[in-house]
Amino acid sequence: MMIRVERAILHICEMNAGTMIWSDKELDITDTNIYLYITAQVTKVINSSNKKRAEFMSNSGCKVALADYKKGEIGFIALSCQIAKRIYDGMAGYEKAGGMDVVIAEVEIQGGKYIVILNLDRKTGYVHNVIDNGNTISINTALLPNNQTVKEFAVINEDDFGIEYASKTYPIDGERVDVMSELVLECENVSVSSKQADTSIKKLIRKVSTDALRSNVKLKDTMQNIITAQSGSKDKTYSLDTISANIFESYGEKKEFVDMAIGAGLVTDGDDKLPIDDYTVKKANEKVKVITDNGFEIKFPHGLYADCFETERDSDGAIRIVLKGISSLDVK
């Protein structure tokens, strides 16, 4: 996936001190370390299986600011300040809020323009500096690899204002508040994340199927086949009907599975497209993991299931696992 960072800026929220350290200068993305750092963080969130899809509410202040930016009525720095202030104001009611480093970037992804909001934690290898009213990032390459995580993020399409985001809830005034969606973005119609959808589908299969293991292997095959069949397409569709038709044989099982998936909110009315992306499919369905009730775990590529894995049930009800085609063993 081609990602090009066009501009980025860092604002520092010092919640303990009750202050915001604004930057009136963009990050120097001609600095190779900074450019690669921002690109790496954006790549993480684009590929995240935890992101959800949402739409701005009609009265969203964030949407208004983005529209003003798109029309050229405000600049990138002004837009970033508005977004960072929303994060600061939203987190002000959380008593345990510490320091937050907020990076706002404009990036090009596969030819489309996006505004990316990153709420970053702080690691030893990543240090923010304030120089002449311009915040910047220093990266200590001697301490790499730097496993810094993105606590929360949002990726907003500048063309249609579609949102993908991941967030946390915080205890504020006695209630759990999703600051990113409720106070920063002001969005609604939130879907489950790709990871949640994949996990939920597998749970439903276990509930419905008389042979959950075999059905879950069929699911992995189905997902991989969809990737292959739609190779080159920008919009791969993982539909509930396609999955149901390839996994279950009886009408009763198919109907029960579809009804339960609809009831769980995995698809919307009149649309059976599941919110599952390629990255999740590739990561979640490349292996079969078998866990026994006495603690054994067996993991193997799903393509070997038919030829190398069998289960038999003894007269006392115990399950016997037979692994075929093994010429050597290694203990790790």
pLDDT tens per residue, range 246-281:
888 888 888 888 888 888 888 866 678 888 877 777
Q: Is the pLDDT of residue 315 over 70?
A: yes
Q: Please state, in angstroms and rounded to a whole number, the distance separating the CA atoms of residues 69 and 9.
A: 15
Here the tokens at position 281 are: 């499919």
Q: Is the pLDDT of residue 24 over 70?
A: yes
Q: Please state, in angstroms and rounded to a whole number, the distance separating the CA atoms of residues 129 and 227.
A: 44
Q: In terms of Cα–Cα distance, which of 211, 274, 268, 281 is closest to 241?
A: 274
Q: Is the pLDDT of residue 145 over 50?
A: no
Q: Please state, in angstroms and rounded to a whole number, the distance separating the CA atoms of residues 287 and 303.
A: 8
Q: Which residue has the tokens 């038709």?
A: 245
Q: Please state, in angstroms and rounded to a whole number, the distance separating the CA atoms of residues 311 and 325.
A: 15
Question: For residue 271, what is the DSSP state?
Answer: B
Work out the mean pLDDT of the chain and round it to a whole number: 82
User: 195-243: per-residue pLDDT in tens?
Assistant: 888 888 888 888 888 887 788 888 888 887 777 777 666 666 788 888 8
Query: Quick count: other Cβ atoms within 10 Å of Cβ 268?
Result: 12
Rg of the chain, C-alpha, whole Å: 24
Q: Which residue has the tokens 């919307």?
A: 268
Query: Quick count: other Cβ atoms within 10 Å of Cβ 258?
Result: 20
Q: In terms of Cα–Cα distance, which of 244, 245, 250 is closest to 210?
A: 250
Position 125 confidence tier, pLDDT thresholds 50, 70, 90:
very low
Burial of 88 (0-12, 13-18, 19+ CB in 10 A): buried
Burial of 231 (0-12, 13-18, 19+ CB in 10 A): exposed
pTM exceeds 0.85: no
Which amino acid, residue 63? K
Burial of 133 (0-12, 13-18, 19+ CB in 10 A): exposed
Q: Is the pLDDT of residue 115 over 80?
A: yes
Give ∠ CA 163-21-40 in degrees, rounded to 5.
Answer: 45
Query: Quick count: other Cβ atoms within 10 Å of Cβ 95?
Result: 9
Q: Please state, in angstroms and rounded to a whole number, the distance separating the CA atoms of residues 84 and 118.
A: 10
Q: Please state, in angstroms and rounded to a whole number, the distance separating the CA atoms of residues 169 and 136.
A: 28
Position 143 confidence tier, pLDDT thresholds 50, 70, 90:
very low
